[in-house]
Amino acid sequence: MTRGLSEMRAAIDAELEGWLSETLRGAGPIAESIRYAVLAKGKRIRPLLFLGSWEAAGGVAGPGVRNGACALHRVALGPELVHTYSLIHDDLPCMDDDDLRRGRPTVHVRYGERAAVMTGAALLPLAIRAVVGGAADLKLPDRVASRLVGVLTAAAGSDGMVGGQLLDLLAEKESVGFNTLARIHLGKTARLIAACCTMGGVAARAPEQTVGRLTRFGIAIGLAFQTVDDILDVTGFSTRMGKIGGRDEALGKATAPSVLGLDEARARAEELGREALGEVSPLAGADRLREIGRLVLERDR
């Protein structure tokens, strides 16, 4: 891959558009809300991390694979669909009750709460279909495809995103320490981001030592991502972020600035960034991951 991140992001968006059009044919009314949620303009950090990790691990499309780039992008859709599901449910009135996401009304504001719940639920099986279909097109062995699904579902479930989101809700308006904050950040954000990196290494059929480095990179960059997210909720502008700022404080959330203070939160994000980059420094093809890491640390939205 020699393309820039903007070109890679455009290719991911094109794959999302084409695959959803094909997959949702005949799906009925829910197709509209799914497309509304998934095709909203986003950073696509998770699929970019998958593609960057595949590159860092020396991934090469095997013999007999046609349209290998499209198949690779198809696998990359899995984590993005899971992430979009989490945003839909996170915005619900019973959760964080947000009205704005990615610069436009949230799904429950646009389509109603019941449709939003069903839209989020529909994205989970769609994510598995994307990963399995992409793995088949890449002609990956069944055991590799099974591992890809296992990594993604574990990161999305009770030990990962869902469990972390519940911890986040339970900590509202409570006095929590750094260890609790770290568990929240690890569960609700870092495990899914790390899964993208792990999946890239697994899809590339890299040695376990390389997969381990990619996983640790993903954990560190995922924790940095959530720390920066917490900071931006305090310092950012709603018009830039595409969502309403100051919501964490209004809800009494446990965040890096509320637990550590703003300066120490910034220092932690930088430390985590250095830790992440150190993990992939021995990998010859990790330039893309380093670029994404800088994007995570320097973003303003």
Provide the residue type at 83 as one letter.
H
Q: How far apart are CA 37 and CA 88, in angstroms?
A: 8
Our CA angle for 13, 19, 108, nearest 5°, is: 70
pLDDT above 80: residue 236: no
Cα distances (angstroms) measured from residue 208 to each of 85, 202, 211:
30, 9, 5
pLDDT for 231 equals 95
For residue 1, what pLDDT is reported? 42
Give the pLDDT band of residue 170 (cuts 50, 70, 90).
Answer: very high
Q: Flag whether pLDDT at 237 surpasses 90.
A: no
CB atoms within 10 A of CB 221: 29
Residue type, 265: A
Question: Hey, is 101 helix, strand or coil?
Answer: strand
- For residue range 6-50, what is the model confidence (pLDDT) as tens digits? 999 999 999 999 999 999 998 899 999 999 999 999 899 999 999
Distance CA 44, CA 10 (A): 10
- Report the chain's mean pLDDT, rounded to a whole number: 92
| Contact (CB, 8 A) for 49 and 289 | yes
Categorise residue 243: left if φ over 0, alpha if ψ from -120 to 50, beta otherwise: beta
Q: Which residues on adjacent β-strands are paired with residue 101? A: 104
**CA separation, residue 77 to residues 18, 49, 83, 223 (Å):** 12, 11, 10, 22
Q: Do 37 and 88 form a contact (C-beta atoms < 8 A)?
A: yes
Q: Are 182 and 119 in contact (CB under 8 A)?
A: no
DSSP assignment letter at 190: I
Whole-angstrom CA distances from 29 to 16, 99, 106, 197 are 19, 22, 17, 34
Cα 264 to the center of its chain, rounded Å: 25
Closest to 206 (Cα-Cα) out of 150, 144, 132: 144
Rounded to whole angstroms, how far apart are CA atoms 50 and 10? Answer: 15
Range 155-179 average pLDDT = 94
Cβ neighbours of residue 179 closer than 8 Å, sequence gap 6 or more: none
Question: Quick one: which of 188, 190, 185, 161 has its CA closest to 258?
Answer: 185
> For the segment 39-76, what is each residue's pLDDT rounded down to a tens digit?
999 899 999 999 999 999 998 766 556 666 889 999 99
